[in-house]
Amino acid sequence: MPGPLRWSARVLTVLVALALVLAGVVVYTVRKSFPQVDGSLRLPGLTGNVEIYRDKYGIPQIYADTAEDLFMAQGFVHAQDRFYEMDFRRHLTAGRLSELFGKATIDNDKAIRTMGWRRVAEQELPELAQQTRDYLDAYAKGVNAWLAANPNASDRSFEYSILKIQNGDYEPEKWTAADSVAWLKAMAWDLRSNMEDEIDRALALTKLPRERVEQLYPGYPYDRHSPIVTEGTIHQDRFDQRAEPRTRAAQALGQAARTLDAVPSTMGSEDRAGIGSNSWVISGEYTESGKPLLANDPHLAPQMPSVWYQAGLHCRKITEECPYDVTGFTFSGVPGVIIGHTDKIAWGFTNLGPDVADLFLEQVRDDTYLYKGRQEKLDVRQEKIKVAGGEPVTITVRSTRHGPLINDVIGSARPSGEANAVALQWTALTPGRTADAVFALNKAGDWGEFKAAASLFDVPSQNLIYADTTGKIGYQAPGRIPVREHGDGTWPVPGWTGEYDWKTAPIPYDQLPSVEDPVDGFIVTANNAVIDPRRYQPLLTKDWAYGYRSERIRDRIKDAISKGPIDAATMSAIQQDTYNDFAETLVPALMRVDLAGPSGEARQMLKTWDRMQGLDSAPAAYFNAVWRQVLMLTFNDDLPEAARPAGGDRWYDVVARLLDLPDDPFWDDVTTKNYRETRDDILRQALASAYQELTDLLGPEVKSWRWGDLHRLELVNGSLGTSGIAPIEALFNRGPLAVPGSKDAVNATGWNVQRGYETTAVPSMRMIVDLSDLDKSLWINLTGASGHAFHDNYWDQAEAWARGELLPMRSKPESIKKVAVHTLTLMP
């Protein structure tokens, strides 16, 4: 062997040996933090033994004799699998990320400190029921017992070993009840209502006259898409399911609304672009078993690990002191079950989306602000942000009576005109009792107890659906929803006049819409309008999803009813539905356009397309590429970047109306000189540009295009997975996975037309509860139970999730023990 080549071989041998040694160190470090799941452990503070059974997916089922032991064990188990995630979240919710990651996260911390999530959580704790505080403390004891038993970074999680390289002095603090409550504030923020819509309207107004901005926010199509509640109104200060609005005023309002709906240039509201959810419940009248079936799949930004953690919490004997037998989806860091079933009832959530946040434009001078002709003192506080590897940063947070001034930390919330500051008023910045609601739901046994629990659910406001083992189904709208003196919450308003202030009391709980055993025999919620304002006041919001998902679910249910009894497989098939409703409107318009060149072959595929968006569909790939081009070509030249369309069903209605107005100014590209584009010019360009884009991405053979090759999901770790260091990201991120569906299909895998086809929102879990036999229920998580990279349960559910499969959701002791592959006993 020649000398130089021999030297190269020796170098390669050494490098391979070093890589193997390094790999061995990494494997050892990673596996060192895996939890003990068999045998027995001492857990100081327990009053009796606790058994934890895990199936092959690592899902724990916990059995205890007291409620305090049960929640203490839950804290221990959450910490075993997800402590780093919990620690990261509590730093996020407290505005303390920079203590972990240095100056890169200072802006995040400034925003959170300004809103004061942690401060509100601390204020909330004393207002909670004593029993709730006891359970939160028990949970914290379980977390801290695990933390004490794992004092070294390498014992806790691989992330801590990585973090030591950058931030060697960091040591996690003990867990507290406030850490758990603060995460509920983060949930409320993710599920807030239309604050971005208010900002987008105001931004659009900087480039367009108001009437053209209002064109982009058409009213909800009540004539085509049913609201959730179709029965009842407020009668004698309570919502009465059997009451009907029969006054002359109500009739006049109905006539006026129908007239306005017919006007092409409407004044009104908006779609909930972004996250959403589906849930529905079907009466036993239509099911194979004769008992209800309930389905739920919340749509959230994908996370690695998933935001959800599956678990069962079981008192060995149900008593007043230990009343819990509940199975479902939990948040690591929070005791109890958020969505699931007890031994008697089941419930699901979708985002109701009421307008619970308003932006108030303020006139600030020095340390005062103008209010009703007087200068009032600003509330001022200092927030000191510690920064790993750097000097602390101190910010000054100023607040008016409407809330904190956010314009310094939320860049898109810019004041204008007479105003020089923007305040955020948001219901979640007032202490509430949502933590009480979680424990009350977890022990509810009938409709009355469920409604009592829902009355405590302050924020975020959710559509709550219900079913029980007696056969009853129902719906309840809970939450703290403000009543305004004037205005409808759709635009930022002047704060100095006082005329748009919130009234002291929100909408009374007894007046919020509620339905028990509706005449239809089923209830569907998918972020659509809750109730027609012609039968219900006060205002909940004007900004709903536009009902494409909900109406498709209703149609699928009606079709299933016509064919015979419904079972869990039918419910699952509906969850997997990928139909694109708007194709029925857009495809005929595309077909009428004169078109020459190679894009004509691609367009031909749309003629026979079944409107389904499966992985292998070439027409779905082309249609979505055309839709992307239609939105960008039509609106990007008219709107500031932050207000441009991301997609979603509001834009379905906007474009549908424009298709009947071929010379509307929105069709014209204002960047072209001496030429005025019309509808057909834009549609023709969209067809050609989409063809060229897919040719570049997928090749020239149109029939070989696949929607799944464009629409893919990367599972990205929420902290180190976005480090910007490729080898680190590779350790914690997974994927990509090809996924079917789209933003407003029932299988709602969202994507942003401004950025491309990558999946940005997903059904974060799926659940189907069978009230005839709870052991026949089904569920799946987006990733897996474990937060430990390389653990067998880190993302072992992801591929099954992508295929639309479900796993058994066991809750009976005998079936749980039968499939258990691990059993751990915790002892005092």
Residue ranges of E strands in 262-337: 276-282, 293-300, 309-315, 325-330
Tokens of residue 19, six digits: 């890589």
- Residue 723 is a catalytic residue: no
| Cα–Cα distance, 397 to 266 (Å, whole number) | 40
DSSP 432-489: --HHHHHHHHHT--SHHHHHHHHTT--SS-EEEEEEETTS-EEEE--S----BSS--S
Query: Is the CA virtual torsion 78, 82, 88, 93 positive or negative?
Result: negative
- Residue 600 makes CB contacts below 8 A (sequence gap 6+) with none
Residue 602's closest CA among 683, 703, 753, 741? 703
Identity of residue 601: E
Unique residue bearing structure tokens 């009343």 = 323
Rounded to 10 deg, the angle between the 177-190 and 434-442 helix axes is 100
| Cα–Cα distance, 379 to 179 (Å, whole number) | 25
Judge residue 678's burial from the number of C-beta atoms within 10 Å of its C-beta, 0-12 exposed, 13-18 middle, 19 or more buried.
Answer: middle
How distant, in Å, are the alpha carbons of 17, 29, 533, 594 from that of 154? Answer: 24, 6, 57, 65
Catalytic residue among 33, 157, 277, 283: 277
Residue 125's closest CA among 170, 207, 182? 182
Q: Is the bond preceding residue 494 a cis peptide, omega within 30 degrees? A: no
Residue 393: φ, ψ to 5°: -120, 130
198 among annotated binding-site residues: yes
Asked whether the beta carbons of 742 and 711 are under 8 A apart, the reply is: yes
Rounded to the nearest 10°, the torsion over CA 683, 686, 691, 693 is 180
Q: Which helix (H) or strand (E) holds 687?
A: helix 679-698
Asked whether the beta carbons of 633 and 671 are under 8 A apart, the reply is: no
Asked whether the beta carbons of 189 and 183 are under 8 A apart, the reply is: no
How many C-beta atoms surround the C-beta of residue 539 within 10 A? 17
| Angle, alpha carbons 172-175-178 (nearest 5°) | 125
Q: Which helix (H) or strand (E) holds 124?
A: helix 117-124
Of the chain, the end-to-end C-alpha distance in Å amounts to: 68
Rounded to 10 deg, the angle between the 117-124 and 177-190 helix axes is 120
Residue 116's closest CA among 387, 355, 397? 397
Identity of residue 506: P
| Cα–Cα distance, 553 to 525 (Å, whole number) | 9
| Cα–Cα distance, 188 to 14 (Å, whole number) | 54
Residues in the chain: 828
Dmax of the chain from CA atoms? 101
- Residue 10 makes CB contacts below 8 A (sequence gap 6+) with none
Residue ranges of E strands in 203-320: 233-235, 238-240, 276-282, 293-300, 309-315
Q: Catalytic residue positions? A: 277
Residues forming the annotated binding site? Answer: 198, 355, 358
Residues forming the annotated binding site for Ca(2+)? Answer: 198, 355, 358
